[in-house]
Amino acid sequence: MPVGLSDQMPELFPIAGMRLSSVRAGIKKRAGHDLVLIELDEGCNTAAVFTKNDFCAAPVTLAKAHLVAHQPKVLMINSGNANAGTGEAGMQAAQATCTMAAKVMGCEPEQVLPFSTGVIGEVLPVTPFEVGLPAAAAELSVTGWAAAARGIMTTDIVPKAVSKKLDIDGHAVTITGIAKGSGMIHPNMATMLGYVATDAAVSLPLLQKMLTDATDDSFNSITVDGDTSTNDACTLTATGRSSLPEISDAHSVAYAQLSEAVTQVLTELATMIVRDGEGATKFITIRVEEAASKAEAKQVGFTIAHSPLVKTAFFASDPNWGRILAAVGRAGLDNLNLTAIRLYLGDACIVENGGRSPTYTEEQGAAVMKEAEITITVKLARGTAAATIYTCDFSYDYVKINAEYRS
């Protein structure tokens, strides 16, 4: 099972102004739902961020173009096929499914945002959508969040969903979100999809800022295997159905409160992805402090998180701290003061004054490494900036899952 997660989802609060559904259309080779629809009422604002992989999938290219032209009325997600690396045929398939969805949902094709996840290199089959889309439209419901969370899964073991209520200046506001991802996870916007919504009213420019900032500290701060997917996407929708007046000032208290809550939701979803990392047995938090900049802190954190030697040591519960030290040393920081760096495994100081701490014992390290959740702290003594990166170990099952992915 994933580290610290169960198959039971929390109570998911409906978001007025949107409905969701999930059905089996026959896109996946294996059993399970594989087509999700999200219908947005008139007046909703939707912001999005997408993968920065140059070989982005056809639905990513099309969704970007549609979002520039129109605010969406429909989000259409299929699992089981990524429709990436498929050239013009893949683009035609994505366009065809948008046209089909528009006909069923009574909108323009450009008002449909398509999203796909699954195997790369195979053109998306259009035929399953002919039956799947009408079936999904008939199942649309404000309570469809849980079904949608399961419908977007691929190698995920458990669904990922978060829901929160908060009070902003006396007005009740709700935020609910779902995500999928387990492997091919290295953010650059991870295979990762996320759909988050709030019933607050937020102007579109501020909504985009809110999502971009929240993504930087959540989905862009996780890694499972260092592979950036061709299909990553995350949307944030504001339906405006709360009694809270529209938020249009980035310096307002209301914006700060909502932005903080959205970041919390995205961070919870992001860490769920790491906890459900393919074959994961350990959840690892890497905290880099006293950096010259946040970017520098992330650079060090990701160098540690991407190291196969570090990740396999964690799987073996081996306190081989030299691997962590080596990762810090090759992170590419200029003028690194080795004698000033302190390195901690849990609460135990491993490294100081350029070498092993005299207070550290192998027994301390072994005790920490036996835990399912472990924190590494690196203090660089270069400034006041900090960043947190979340990752997991590499197990035998990671190789098995990915070796058998297409079978």
Q: Are 291 and 283 in contact (CB under 8 A)?
A: no
Answer whether residue 265 is part of any domain. Answer: yes
Residues above pLDDT 90, as percent of the chain? 77
The pLDDT assigned to 189 comes to 40
Task: Tell me the catalytic residues.
Answer: 191
Where is the domain boundary, 275, 291, 318? 275
**pLDDT tens, position by position, 42-99:** 999 999 998 877 778 899 999 999 999 999 999 999 999 999 999 999 999 999 999 9
Q: Are 274 and 51 in contact (CB under 8 A)?
A: no
Q: Quick one: pLDDT band at residue 173, thresholds 50, 70, 90?
A: very high
Residues ≥6 apart with Cβ < 8 Å to 377: 287, 288, 289, 343, 344
Q: Are residues 374 and 269 in the same domain?
A: no
Q: The domain that contains 357 carries what CATH number?
A: 3.10.20.340
Tokens representing 348 are 């135990």
| Distance in angstroms (rounded) separating the CA atoms of residues 35 and 321 | 45
pLDDT of 115 > 80? The answer is yes
Angle at 192 between CA 110 and CA 137, to 5 degrees: 45
The pLDDT assigned to 398 comes to 74
Nearest to 190 by CA among 205, 202, 180: 180
The mean per-residue pLDDT over the stretch 380-398 comes to 92
Number of domains in the chain: 2
Answer whether residue 5 is part of any domain. Answer: no
pLDDT of 394 > 70? The answer is yes
Sequential DSSP letters for 333-363: -TT--TTT-EEEETTEEEEETTEE-TT--HH
Q: Are residues 307 and 246 in the same domain?
A: no
Answer whether residue 7 is part of any domain. Answer: no
**Most confident of the following: 178-182, 198-202, 279-283:** 198-202
Q: Are residues 195 and 296 in the same domain?
A: no
Q: Quick one: pLDDT band at residue 374, thresholds 50, 70, 90?
A: very high
Q: The domain that contains 227 carries what CATH number?
A: 3.60.70.12
Q: Quick one: pLDDT band at residue 232, thresholds 50, 70, 90?
A: confident
Answer whether residue 13 is part of any domain. Answer: no
The pLDDT assigned to 166 comes to 97
The pLDDT assigned to 183 comes to 55
pLDDT of 112 > 60? The answer is yes
Q: Are residues 111 and 225 in the same domain?
A: yes
| Distance in angstroms (rounded) separating the CA atoms of residues 317 and 336 | 29
The pLDDT assigned to 227 comes to 52
Mean pLDDT for all residues in the chain = 92
Q: Residue written as tokens 């005299």? A: 358
Q: Are residues 117 and 238 in the same domain?
A: yes
Answer whether residue 3 is part of any domain. Answer: no
**pLDDT tens, position by position, 275-304:** 987 778 999 999 999 999 999 999 999 999
| Distance in angstroms (rounded) separating the CA atoms of residues 177 and 269 | 8
The pLDDT assigned to 324 comes to 94
Q: Which residue has the higher pLDDT, 279 or 198?
A: 198
Range of the domain at 352: 283-403
H/E element holding 23? strand 18-23
Q: Are residues 25 and 145 in the same domain?
A: yes
| Distance in angstroms (rounded) separating the CA atoms of residues 317 and 8 | 28
Where is the domain boundary, 232, 249, 275? 275
Q: Are residues 209 and 311 in the same domain?
A: no
Answer whether residue 6 is part of any domain. Answer: no
Q: Are residues 190 and 318 in the same domain?
A: no
| Distance in angstroms (rounded) separating the CA atoms of residues 133 and 154 | 19
φ/ψ (deg, to 5) at 102:
-60, -40
Alpha helices in 87-238 (DSSP H): 87-105, 127-138, 145-151, 204-216
Q: Quick one: pLDDT band at residue 127, thresholds 50, 70, 90?
A: very high
Query: Which range has the worst mean pLDDT, 150-154, 185-189, 220-224, 381-385?
Result: 185-189
The mean per-residue pLDDT over the stretch 96-119 comes to 96
Answer whether residue 34 is part of any domain. Answer: yes
Half-sphere exposure of 190 (CA within 13 A, CB side): 33
Q: Quick one: pLDDT band at residue 190, thresholds 50, 70, 90?
A: very low
Where is the domain boundary, 225, 248, 275? 275
Answer whether residue 319 is part of any domain. Answer: yes
The mean per-residue pLDDT over the stretch 177-205 comes to 79
Q: Are residues 196 and 338 in the same domain?
A: no
Q: Are residues 44 and 142 in the same domain?
A: yes
The pLDDT assigned to 229 comes to 60
The pLDDT assigned to 281 comes to 92
Q: Are residues 289 and 256 in the same domain?
A: no
Q: Are residues 313 and 172 in the same domain?
A: no
